Amino acid sequence: MRVSSAIARSSSSPARFLEKQTKVVTVLGLLEGPTLKWATSTSSSLQQSMEDWAFGLGVDRVLQAMEDRFADKERARKAADMIARLGQQQYSGTLQAVFAEFEQLTSTPGLVMSPDDLLTNFCKAAPEKFVVALYSVGHKGWRSFGRAALEMEAKLHTDAPPVFCPPEIQQVVDQYADLMQEPFGLPNRPTKHHIELLPGAVPPKGRIYRMFPAELEELRKQLETLTSKGWIRPNTSEFGAPVLFVPKGNGEFRMYIDYRGLNKITRKSTEPLPRIDDLLDMVQGCTVFSKVDLKFGHHQIEMAEEDVYKTAFKTMYGTYEFLVMPFGLCNAPGSFQTEMYRIFRPYLDKFMVVYLDDILVFSKTVREHAEHLALVLQSLRDILQQDDGNSLRPVEFMSKKIKTQKLQDSTYEKELYALVCGPKHWKHFLLGRHFKIFSDHSTLQWMKSQGELNDKLTWYIQFIDMFDFELKHKKGCYNKVADALSRRPDSFALISSTHSFGEETRQTIARLLPQDETFEPIVRNLQADPNSEPGYALSSDLLYTCSRGEERLIPQDQRLRTLLMSECHNARGHFGFLKSYAALSQRFF
């Protein structure tokens, strides 16, 4: 404990009401560290106990002896110099930090500064907006001025009215609210970031730095986030940059990947960035401004596939590589600026300027500004929502074999079951995000408008309601990937459990169905109303039943039965009666 602290604490106690011995005991009880060691050695050199030595001197002389031994003779001068330095420029911290700093410095014993000097230096260090608002009030001391400024700051943070936004501008912002969502996935855009190495360059090998628990927790969290968004993936590259963490002002950590080793061996690009002063000259005569800041701007540029391995970074949880452009690469700003120029080229310097991920829109009137802002936001929407047509790319595949007990379900139930399996498999990616489902089963579009539903369908729909999706019907002729095996007769042989037959046989079955006494009424009813015969379905002039799965019904025609038995018997290599019968039973009734 410092001597000054001991003196302050002892003087603030009710010493005037205590006896001499009690005063001494109080002072000795406050000693610790160097002061306690000094008191012990001093009393021992006089062959006295510390209590007897202190009682003999008295409280005042003990405190004076400690002051002479430990007090910094230059402390008051150093405090005055520090106050003068604070007054030379505006303090970089908060108003609360300025006040606390002055409170500590002005309490220094022996400080000689006039109240006017202290007030002047405090006003120079405090944020300018408080000085302008309070200086005319006539505060005589820095402390009263500082408390008034703190009260004003608290009021600004709690009772301040919302910033006024013209209704025309607010309407545009609300119209493009979808742009505020968190980005994820790989951007499919013309601009790719390349890393061209110098000839003979040796890959840099970074080290893994030690981290304390809070940094490790943040590392795990950020790795999970970047992986779930599809921006990084594990790798075994010979490259590997180290990972560091830089504390933010709010106590959180920012992950920093040290690409300095990679940048040293990278050929520098010649793409210049615009001059900020030239950009600001463009706003002359304008009175309405909007600033758009792109979140995760660099991550909206995809890495060239051949250069992905060069972005590798090492952690104690493994080595990862970036599929999108990371922060810290020497040529990254040029690549990003090129993409921004490509997107906004028609509007540049007319009513907007762009510098990396900062966009400034400027206009002379509110109505004009609403039009300009809508054009800029629409350009961003067009580039961020390229999710149709040729830009759709497969990311992952999933298939599921229908269980035996589900073969008896209707076609509608099986299609709805498939609609459940997909979101269930990718639940961790899809929950909380809007997505689209393409299906060639058109009746799924009206699944929520059905009347009475059985327990199974009710559970399916309740599960699907957890997700935010848009169901789009895709005709079977355009759904070639999903329908390849079911729609191409020459592909039936790819399914071992499906017996193939020619077009002539299919036409024969379709021609004889209406002539069958048993099935003719069923076919007629289904042609009038597809839902009129539960357990039956009519498709491509063929009748299906769901009594033992989805099977073709064959009319009572002996020649047709003989033809099918012959085809199955010969095609399967003469397996015998039981196996041939089992094969036919899978598809025919």
Write the pLDDT tens digit of every residue in 206-229.
Answer: 788 888 888 888 888 888 888 888
Token pair recorded at residue 134: 């309070």
Task: Look at residue 498 and tell me whether its pLDDT is greater than 50.
Answer: no
Task: Look at residue 93 and tell me whether its pLDDT is greater than 80.
Answer: no
List of residues 6+ apart from 304 with CB closer than 8 A: 192, 193, 194, 195
pLDDT at 484: 46
Token pair recorded at residue 4: 């000054």
Mean pLDDT of 376-387: 74
Per-residue exposure over 103-130, b if at least 16 CB sit within 10 Å of its own CB, e if not: eebbebeebebeeeebbebbbbbbeeeb
CA 485 to chain centre: 40
Q: How far apart are CA 242 and CA 279, in angstroms?
A: 36
pLDDT at 28: 73
Amino acid at 244: L
Task: Look at residue 155 and tell me whether its pLDDT is greater than 70.
Answer: no
Token pair recorded at residue 376: 């800029």
3-state DSSP assignment of residue 580? helix
Residue 229 is classified by DSSP as T
Task: Look at residue 304 and tell me whether its pLDDT is greater than 80.
Answer: yes
Q: Which of these CATH numbers, 3.10.10.10, 3.40.50.510, 3.40.50.720, 3.30.70.141, describes 192-389?
A: 3.10.10.10
pLDDT at 412: 66
pLDDT at 204: 84
Residue ranges per domain, the chain? 3-70, 75-159, 192-389, 404-478, 488-585
Instruction: Let me know: does 31 contact 63? Beta carbons within 8 Å.
Output: no
Token pair recorded at residue 409: 């379900």
List of residues 6+ apart from 104 with CB closer than 8 A: none
Q: How far apart are CA 367 and CA 166, in angstroms?
A: 9
pLDDT at 436: 82
Residue 403's pLDDT band, with cuts at 50, 70 and 90, is low
255, 244, 241: which is closest to 206 by C-alpha?
241
Token pair recorded at residue 557: 């025609």
Task: Look at residue 500 and tell me whether its pLDDT is greater than 50.
Answer: no
Instruction: Let me know: does 543 contact 527? Beta carbons within 8 Å.
Output: no
Q: How far apart are CA 229 and CA 240, in angstroms?
A: 21
pLDDT at 390: 45
Token pair recorded at residue 578: 């039981």
3-state DSSP assignment of residue 443? helix
Burial classification of residue 478, based on how many CB atoms lie within 10 Å of its CB (0-12 exposed, 13-18 middle, 19 or more buried): exposed
Amino acid at 251: G
Q: How far apart are CA 523 and CA 543, in angstroms?
A: 7
Task: Look at residue 21 and tell me whether its pLDDT is greater than 70.
Answer: no
Task: Report the Cα–Cα distance between both ends of the chain, in Å, rounded.
Answer: 96
pLDDT at 381: 82
Q: What is the pLDDT of residues 544-562, one digit of tens each?
A: 765 544 455 555 566 666 6
Q: How far apart are CA 37 and CA 34, in angstroms?
A: 5
Residue 212 CA: distances (Å) to CA of 216, 219, 221, 244, 253: 6, 11, 14, 11, 12
Q: What is the pLDDT of residues 182-205, one digit of tens each?
A: 777 777 777 788 888 888 888 887
Q: What is the pLDDT of residues 513-525, one digit of tens each?
A: 777 777 788 888 8
* Number of residues that make up the chain: 589
pLDDT at 587: 58
Q: What is the pLDDT of residues 316-373, one digit of tens each?
A: 888 899 988 888 888 888 888 888 888 888 888 888 888 888 888 888 888 888 999 9
pLDDT at 100: 82
Higher pLDDT, 373 or 297: 373
For all residues of the chain together, what is the average pLDDT?
73
